[in-house]
Structure 1
């Protein structure tokens, strides 16, 4: 597995503030440990602060590229961490939502954890999909047409979702596996 993602490029999204640190750092490390390269993406470039448990300050990280500077074609996979404030900020930003929606339509692996599926709901891509999230998003996902299940990791045609930081080991394993597999041609939105 050390080089299973050699020549693969992955974008990992950070919000301007409030992304859950381990949901960013662990998938990033998993991709890099598997030989992939990672770009940290966000609404705008610059330093951002992450959190632990939504409330406690964690680390400071650099957003290397804004959504306006890249295209979905630049990446073989995309990861969207959670964090209540971070996920809420991302779902309220048109460029973030459009990037996630466009990425979903490429049929490339898209991995989202915890509160991150709020962005999927806002991007209108959960209808007919089976996914999981932090338990408080269950109603949002069901109202958007998704089939919410309570499992540590769910994969639906390359869409990888997990509930919370306790699921990170399974989530990271599936992130690497799905990016290694590549595009999932059966994944389409109802309006595509």
Structure 2
């Protein structure tokens, strides 16, 4: 496993120029990897698309809806039972179903508003930005500083530091869902 320095560029031409500059500066071409990073949510990890089974921001949804269904169903059944003389035996059943539905909808009022702080902090760190990424495996701290200076001089943005393996120009253990560690 190596220390990896990566920087983002906007254009493929910039990536090609950065690769050539890294090679001219003594970095082995096999230890340089360049590729496009998709937008968060579009890495196609699952068969039907997406990156995660459940969105981190929606982690409390099943419990909230469940509580709403139970409370609404109980209240609806009680109202239906109280009106059973008028509604007949279907009153408590219909009341429970309507109450469960209303309760599940009411539970949505507990949702986090846009811009509101996350209670568990899952979304506190910014995800990796989409775009062209070039990464170079470095042998030591001096190489890391050389790579940062060279890429910065070429206009790279959003530098990252990572641990991983670049084999024959392919960052084999790159995880697009990992949170980037800023290098600057």
TM-score scaled to structure 1, two decimals?
A: 0.22
Please identify the structure whose Cα radius of gyration is greater.
Answer: 2
Q: Which has the higher helix share?
A: 2
TM-score scaled to structure 2, two decimals?
A: 0.23
Q: Which has the higher strand share?
A: 1
